[in-house]
Amino acid sequence: MTDKELIAFASEKLARYEVPTRFAFVDELPRTTVGKILRRELARMELEAREQQEGAG
């Protein structure tokens, strides 16, 4: 599934302001030892991806 397909699907199910404008595809979510998602790690991953895009563009 592509990000465009996800946006189209979300547009059918959600209000316009709720539809995400971009998605990040990851193999595995970072988790703590008890299984909670590490939000700070997700933010760090997003920042690194943006920096890579800016460097490539």
Question: 53 — alpha (psi -120 to 50), left (phi > 0) or beta?
Answer: alpha
In degrees, rounded to 5, the angle at the alpha carbon of residue 15 between the alpha carbons of residues 40 and 10 is: 65
Could you read off the pLDDT tens digit of each residue along the chain, which spans 57 residues?
A: 888 999 999 999 999 999 988 888 889 999 999 999 999 999 999 898 888 888 876
Tell me the CB-side half-sphere exposure of residue 5, using CA atoms within 13 A. Answer: 2
2: closest CA among 17, 24, 19? 24
Domain residue spans in the chain? Answer: 3-56
The reply to whether the predicted model has a pTM over 0.75 is no
* pLDDT score, position 57: 64
